[in-house]
């Protein structure tokens, strides 16, 4: 089906992000806040981000993109459907 072939979306749960200890969530929280500010998108419970943004975040966290994605899924901050979106 068309839906099965659609690119996997990266969706950050901003509510859960606010519950993760700041020493872990800090860089992602600041990055998400910057994207919200650039878009003027302040009222969402979730934030869809670019694939490129996860790659950038992986550099910041000094991890492979797939490893960071697993960590964020483990925190409940990234949708599990995003697994495999990044190689
Ligand atoms: P930009 O990259 O030059 O994008 C200009 C406008 O094109 C965006 O305005 C948005 O209306 C649209 N646009 C660009 N890429 C996409 C996309 O993948 N999906 C959708 N739905 N629209 C897209 P907007 O949203 O006001 O963003 C203004 C600027 O803020 C962007 O300029 C970009 O520099 C930055 N920005 C916003 N969101 C993101 C993001 O998720 N990641 C990054 N890296 N930058 C972002
Ligand atoms: P979706 O991508 O599955 O998003 C479902 C709902 O999650 C959205 O409902 C919205 O309430 C929330 N959401 C997802 N990403 C963001 C985000 O970055 N910021 C905020 N504030 N909320 C977000 P909504 O807005 O009624 O959109 C329903 C559907 O319409 C979306 O499903 C998507 O398929 C489409 N859509 C909405 N905006 C865009 C867009 O800018 N680009 C594209 N390509 N599709 C869009
Ligand atoms: P989306 O809006 O459904 O866009 C899906 C994909 O289409 C994007 O994946 C990107 O590869 C491509 N795309 C859409 N609009 C543009 C555009 O104006 N310019 C370019 N060069 N490509 C575009 P990507 O980048 O992984 O983004 C995933 C989702 O993140 C987007 O889904 C949208 O919900 C959100 N997003 C990304 N950048 C922006 C932005 O600048 N502004 C807003 N409002 N949302 C963005």
| Ligand approaching nearest to the C-alpha of 34 | 1
- Which structural domains are found in the chain, ordered by start? 8-79 (1.10.10.1930)
Whole-angstrom distance, CA of residue 33 vs CA of residue 39: 10
pLDDT digits (tens, 9 = 90+) for 24-68: 999 999 999 999 999 999 999 999 999 999 999 999 999 999 999
| Ligand approaching nearest to the C-alpha of 12 | 2
Q: What are phi and psi of 77, to 5 degrees?
A: -95, -30
56 token code pair: 């950038």
ipTM for the whole predicted complex goes beyond 0.95: no
Which bin fits 40, alpha (ψ -120 to 50), beta or left (φ > 0)?
left
Q: 12: Cβ below 6 Å to ligand 2?
A: no
The structure's pTM equals 0.91
40 token code pair: 């003027």
Specify the residue with its C-alpha closest to ligand 2, atom 25. 44
Cα(39) to centroid(ligand 1), Å: 7
pLDDT digits (tens, 9 = 90+) for 56-73: 999 999 999 999 999 999
Cβ atoms < 10 Å from Cβ of 19: 11
């Amino acid at each position: 089906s068309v839906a099965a072939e659609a690119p996997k979306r990266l969706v950050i749960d901003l509510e859960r992000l606010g519950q993760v200890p700041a020493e872990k969530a800090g860089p992602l929280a600041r990055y998400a806040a910057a994207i919200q500010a650039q878009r003027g998108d302040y009222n969402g419970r979730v934030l869809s981000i670019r694939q490129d943004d996860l790659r950038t975040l992986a550099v910041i966290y000094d991890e492979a993109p797939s490893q960071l994605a697993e960590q964020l899924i483990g925190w409940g901050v990234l949708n599990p459907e995003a697994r495999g979106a990044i190689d």
